[in-house]
Structure 1
C-alpha cells in the first residue's frame, strides 16, 4: 500500500455536526469501561503528541495544516531536480529534528504506557514518527520488547537510510549535516539560545520563509564511498507520501487488529488510508471500536463507531486510575 496525502472527504467535512457534549469525568468512565476487559489494540495519531509540543497534521475543523508534504519520488530522484529537493528537505529537517529529539512524553503517552505495561493494551500501532511512545516505556522495557509491542506504521525519524540500504542513527547524521554546513549550525545554535525555534511539523521539518536552499550541503553516504559509490540519496526511515508501507509492517498491523477483542483509537483523524483501513477491518470483524479525538475524522459516517470528542490529555490520567 502506498501512502497518499491525508484527506478527509469534503462530504464528511460538510456534513459534520456539533459533537454531543460529554464531561471529562463521564468520558473517562466510558473509556475505562471500554478498556477494562483487556486485549485492546490501540491506534494513535498526531493528536497524541500535541501536548509534547509537536504540531498536529490537522486543525479542529479538519483542515490539513502542512501543505509542504514530502514526495518519495522527488526525494529519491537521481537528477539535479531531485538533489535540489533533498537540499530543501534536509535543511528544513535539520532545523526541525532537535525539537522532536528533545520532546518528552506527555500525560497521554504515559497513560497508554501504563495500560501497555499491565497488558490491558497488548499491541499499540502508532502513525507517529516521533518515538514518544518508546520514550514513555524506556525505563521499564528493553528495545526488543518495545519492538514487539509497538508498531510504527509510518516508520521513525530517528534513523536515516541511504538508497543502498546503509543505516545510521539520526544524531550521527545530524552531526554530519552540522559539519558540512557550519553556518547553519551557528544559525541553529542562535535559535536555541533565543528560544525562537520555528514550529515543528509532525514529520520533523519546519516552515522557512525567504530561504535559499541551493548552498545547503547534503553529505554523501560514507559506507557507499567505501564501495566506490557516490550517493547523497538519503532519507529518514519514515514512509513518505507515494512510498509503500513494507509488507511485513502491513501484515503485522492487520494481525494486531484481528487478534484483539476491541479497538481504541486516540488523537487521529484517520485521514491516512493506512490507518483508516485498519479501523474498517475491525468494524468488518464486528469488533467494538471507540475513537477519542477532537474534530471531524474520516471515520465519522461509519456505522458501529463510537466517538468521544475530547482532547486525550483531559481524560487519560483518570482512565488509567479507573482501569488499574
Structure 2
C-alpha cells in the first residue's frame, strides 16, 4: 500500500517568502472586525497547540520540520505483527505529554468567544482536547463536560479514547493503566527517560519516535479488548480513536463539519496550513456557499492566493486574545446600553 502524506503545494511554498507579516495592531483590528458580527465557525490546526508544548508537523515555512519523519499510517498501526506492536508502543509513550498539556492563550481566547456566543462552532483538526479544557475552565461551576460536545467538532478524532478494530471504545487513561500493569519493564524505562531529561519529540497525533534508543519491543504486551473477550474473541488490535493517515473520516463527522459551515456566516481558520484535504474542503465549502473567510496563520497555507480568503500573517495567541477583548467590550457595551 502506498500513501502520500499531505503537503502544502510547492507553488505555495515558493511564494511564501514574499508574504509580509501583518503588524500586531493591524492583525487585531482585522480579526476583531471579522468576528464582531458573530455566528463564526472556527477551524483550528496543530499551530494553535504549539504554545502548549505540542510540536506541529510543519514549521513557519510550511515544510515538515523533520523532512525524514514518517508519521504513523493506519495500516501500520493496525498490523497484527511485531511491526504494529512497535507503533502501538510509540503511541503508549506519546500519549502522556499530550494528556498533561495545558491550554494556551489561543485556546482560552477562542473559549471566551464561544461563551460570548460569537463563535457558534469550533472545528479542530487537533486530537489533544485542549479546546475542551479551555472551554470547561471558563464554564460555570454547574457545567458538565458533556455540554461541550455540541460546540466542538473533532475532525480527526481524539486521543482521550482508544478503540479496537471491532469498534469497542475504551477510556484512554484506563487503557494506559492496563498497558502499564502488563509492561512493568516499560514503566521503569519511562521513568528513567523522565529522570534523564532526554526530550521525547511528541507529535500532534500522540506519536513519539523511540528509534534513538535502539531497543527491542518484542516483549511489549497489548491488553486484550475486554468486550471482544465477552464475545468469545481474542483481540489486541487496539488504537487511539484518531483518524490516522490512510484512514477515512466517518461520514457523520464530514456531514457535521459541512453543517457547521453552512449554518454560520463566516469561517475563521487559525493555525493550520490546510495541507490535509479534510480541512481544505471546508474552506472550499465556505467559498462555494459565499461565506466570508479569514485565515490567521504564520507561514504559507493552501488558502494563499485565494482572493476571497483574507490572510492575516501572524501568530495567533496574542492577536486572538486582544481581538477577543475588543469584541467582548463591544458586546458588553451593547448589552448595557439603554433601550
Where on the TM-score scale, by shorter chain, does this alignment land: which range?
Answer: over 0.9
129, 134, 137: which one aligns with 1:136: 134
CA RMSD, 1 decimal: 1.6
Q: In the aligned structure 1, how far is the partner of 2:10 from the partner of 2:29?
A: 33
**2:314: which partner in 1?**
310
- Measured after TM superposition, the shift of residue 63 of structure 1 is 1.2
**1:97: which partner in 2?**
95
Q: In the aligned structure 2, how far is the partner of 1:226 from the partner of 1:54?
A: 37
**1:204: which partner in 2?**
206
100-109 vs 279-288, greater mean Cα deviation: 279-288
**2:112: which partner in 1?**
114
- Measured after TM superposition, the shift of residue 29 of structure 1 is 1.3
- Measured after TM superposition, the shift of residue 25 of structure 1 is 1.7
Q: In the aligned structure 2, how far is the partner of 1:21 from the partner of 1:138?
A: 33
Unaligned runs of at least 5 residues, structure 1: none
Given that 1:4 and 1:272 are in contact with CA atoms closer than 8 Å, whether structure 2 keeps it comes out as: no
Q: In the aligned structure 1, how far is the partner of 2:95 from the partner of 2:4?
A: 23
**2:30: which partner in 1?**
30
Q: Is 1:10 matched with 2:14?
A: no
Q: In the aligned structure 2, how far is the partner of 1:301 from the partner of 1:22?
A: 16
In the TM superposition, 1:1-324 aligns within 5 A as: 5-65=5-65, 67-77=69-79, 82-139=80-137, 140=139, 141-208=143-210, 209=212, 210-324=214-328
Q: TM-score under structure 2 normalisation? A: 0.90
Q: In the aligned structure 2, how far is the partner of 1:217 from the partner of 1:62?
A: 38
Q: In the aligned structure 2, how far is the partner of 1:259 from the partner of 1:48?
A: 24
**2:331: which partner in 1?**
none
Residues 206-232 of structure 1 show CA distances to partners (whole Å, capped at 9, x for unaligned) of 122223222222222122223221101
SS of the residue 2:16 aligns to: coil
The structure 1 segments of at least 4 consecutive aligned residues displaced by more than 6 Å after TM superposition are: none
Q: In the aligned structure 2, how far is the partner of 1:45 from the partner of 1:323?
A: 23
**2:337: which partner in 1?**
none
Q: TM-score under structure 1 normalisation? A: 0.94
Q: In the aligned structure 1, how far is the partner of 2:219 from the partner of 2:279?
A: 38
Q: In the aligned structure 2, how far is the partner of 1:197 from the partner of 1:176?
A: 25
SS of the residue 1:289 aligns to: strand
- Measured after TM superposition, the shift of residue 4 of structure 1 is 6.2
Residues 16-73 of structure 1 show CA distances to partners (whole Å, capped at 9, x for unaligned) of 3422232212211110111000000000000000000000110111112463212222
- Measured after TM superposition, the shift of residue 194 of structure 1 is 4.1
Residues 103-154 of structure 1 show CA distances to partners (whole Å, capped at 9, x for unaligned) of 0000000000000011100100000000000001124143332110100000
Given that 1:86 and 1:218 are in contact with CA atoms closer than 8 Å, whether structure 2 keeps it comes out as: no
Q: In the aligned structure 2, how far is the partner of 1:65 from the partner of 1:129?
A: 20
Q: In the aligned structure 1, how far is the partner of 2:306 from the partner of 2:153?
A: 25
Q: Relative to structure 1, is the Cα distance of residues 278 and 4 closer, same or farther in structure 2, using a 3 angstrom cutoff?
A: farther
Q: In the aligned structure 1, how far is the partner of 2:83 from the partner of 2:159?
A: 18
- Measured after TM superposition, the shift of residue 192 of structure 1 is 2.7
Q: In the aligned structure 2, how far is the partner of 1:89 from the partner of 1:75?
A: 6
Q: Relative to structure 1, is the Cα distance of residues 27 and 149 closer, same or farther in structure 2, using a 3 angstrom cutoff?
A: same
